[in-house]
Structure 1
Amino acid sequence: MPWVFVLIWSTGFIVARYGMPYAPPFGFLSLRFALSALCFGVWIQLARVAWPRERAQWLHLAVTGLFMQSGYLGGVWAAVKAGMGAGTVALIVGLQPVLTALWISGVGNAAEHKVTARQWLGLLLGLAGLALVVGGKLGAGEVTALNLAFGTIGLFSITIGTLYQKRYVAPCDVRSASAIQMLAALAVSLPLALLEHEPIVFHPQLVGALAWSVLVLTLGGSSLLYLLIQRGAATSVTSLLYLVPPCTAAMAWLLFGESFTRAMLAGMLLTVAGVALVTARGTAPPRAAAT
């Protein structure tokens, strides 16, 4: 399941390349969240899935939706729209595993919440490998105060959302949980979309990007991320995101003929080694009970 998640999540920047020219960020995301909520609703009805019974659970799921959907995706897509390259955005968001580990080390009191020395080594190796992969794509003058702010919002949003879900969201069915998250994200993105002046052009590329975003990235990728966070340790789960930029670079090379250097290949291998150290048995904190 982790490797499937990485492959699915890595297509996000590829989809952005196809769809971004034909829609503003929050207009596209509003369509994505609305259609995703509709798909989950139909799925829930057909499968007769139970909704969370406690109001607090609804609130916690809504908070995670605000951070992990509207905050993270809104920040990343807005940064790309404002001129930041996909590799640069990936590098910024790729700092999440280290940010998560710093938070856990700072506030964790119990032994199971501590980040071990071997995990720290793996995190640093993963960060170094990530820098090798996307470092060559950093363009001079590409980063501005505006798009850097958007990218940072995306980074902090997914980090906070991951930690919040692990701490407050009780195990429940991923379909009803995802539907609540999508509706909460839509409540934030839709008003922002109404402020955007760029029209949405339903070009075939946009339709394809939207279909992939809903059916694969949201119903598949977001659901897998929810399950991984629910069943695993936060540090181990977020370390998997180190693998996303290298996989994205490989996909861009295969699909678009973008450069793929020896340094990038070395970075991919270094990143895989780092993630292996973080997630290896005996080094990661105990896993939460699966539902």
Structure 2
Amino acid sequence: MPRPPLNDWFVTTHRFARIAPALFVLLWSSGFVGAKFGMPWAPPLHFLVARFAAVLAIMLPAAPFLRVTWPRNQLLIHTALAGLLVQTGYFTCVFMAMHTGLSAGMVALIAGLQPVIVSIFAGLVLRERRNRLQWIGLALGVAGVFMVIQNKLGHGNVTGLGVALAFVALVSISLGTVYQKRFCNGVDVVATSIIQCAVSLLILLPLAALFESGSIHWNGQFIFSLLWVVVVVSIGAIGILLWLLRHGEAGQVSGLFFLVPPTTAVIAWLCFGDELSAFMLAGIALTMLGVYLASPRN
């Protein structure tokens, strides 16, 4: 009997399965802080091109040692299309929205609607059902996210373009989450990451060359930011997200995104001394309660 791919053997251990949700939230949330260091030094598309290229430079040489199983034919196409939504569309629109001046708080508030959107799509496409208690949990999650970031909503320039980009990012990752679960459920996690980063790079490289006049200012701060979003977010967090989608319901996994704005607020408090008031702490508690109630196991 052939041995399973090394990466599948690792992530299916009982210990990893228990810590994976919390680890995903922590790593994904830290990406907003990491990006904050690098965005002043690169146009958004150039930043993303460097990000996806660096991921491929790390993961492609490692693929033979990880015994990656590559998808073929229609499964390969489905994996690439899911990447257009989960990676290309989402990250491009988030970076562009913040580049227009839209505050991270406003982007987080809009992205905080993702679990609700995914639950609706998952019910229609995947036949995942939510009971009344779970819908109450989703509503509490949205309310908790708003409590955490409400003091940041006035910061930055609220433009129609920025808001539209944030909503496109929301729809993109919501559709991508359901699509990934529906059509790519059995695809090797590492193969998925490599294929989706390659597709994103092929699309964004010419767009960056054609539509952005600036260039990357390579300095220590940008390199630190790039390494952080590459290793911690693109390899770590997204790898865990793909594994969670492979082993759980799309609605349950998307509910973890409620915890991202509160976790980001705590990280920003630790790293930058940002405000963390009693009202925000109450919002964090409400968000955690919402995620618990929205879990399909309740």
Give the shorter-chain TM-score range: over 0.9
The answer to whether the Cα contact below 8 Å between 1:108 and 1:114 also exists between their aligned partners in 2 is no
The 2-side partners of 1:104 and 1:214 are apart by 29
In structure 2, list runs of 5 or more residues that go unmatched: 1-19
Q: Does 1:192 align with 2:211?
A: no
SS in 2 for 1:172: coil
Change (3 A) 1:141 1:246: closer
Residue 73 of structure 1, CA deviation: 0.6
The answer to whether the Cα contact below 8 Å between 1:94 and 1:127 also exists between their aligned partners in 2 is yes
Q: Does 1:175 align with 2:194?
A: no
Match of 1:89 among 101, 104, 107: 107
TM-score by length of 1: 0.92
The 1-side partners of 2:269 and 2:156 are apart by 24
Residue 71 of structure 1, CA deviation: 0.6
Match of 2:272 in 1: 256
1:214-247 deviation line (CA, Å, top 9, x unaligned) = 1111110010000111111111100000000000
The one-letter amino acid paired with 1:60 is H
The 2-side partners of 1:272 and 1:182 are apart by 31
Identity %: 42
Match of 1:289 in 2: none
Runs (4+) of structure 1 exceeding 6 A deviation are none
Match of 2:157 among 142, 167, 182: 142
Change (3 A) 1:172 1:140: closer
The answer to whether the Cα contact below 8 Å between 1:36 and 1:219 also exists between their aligned partners in 2 is yes
Match of 2:16 in 1: none
The one-letter amino acid paired with 2:170 is L
Change (3 A) 1:126 1:55: same
The 1-side partners of 2:177 and 2:185 are apart by 13
Match of 2:88 in 1: 70
RMSD: 1.4
Residue 142 of structure 1, CA deviation: 2.6
Match of 1:4 among 7, 16, 23: 23
In structure 1, list runs of 5 or more residues that go unmatched: 284-291
TM-score by length of 2: 0.90
Residue 109 of structure 1, CA deviation: 8.1
Number of residues of Structure 1 aligned to a counterpart in Structure 2: 278
- Is 139-148 or 184-193 further displaced after alignment? 139-148
The one-letter amino acid paired with 2:254 is T
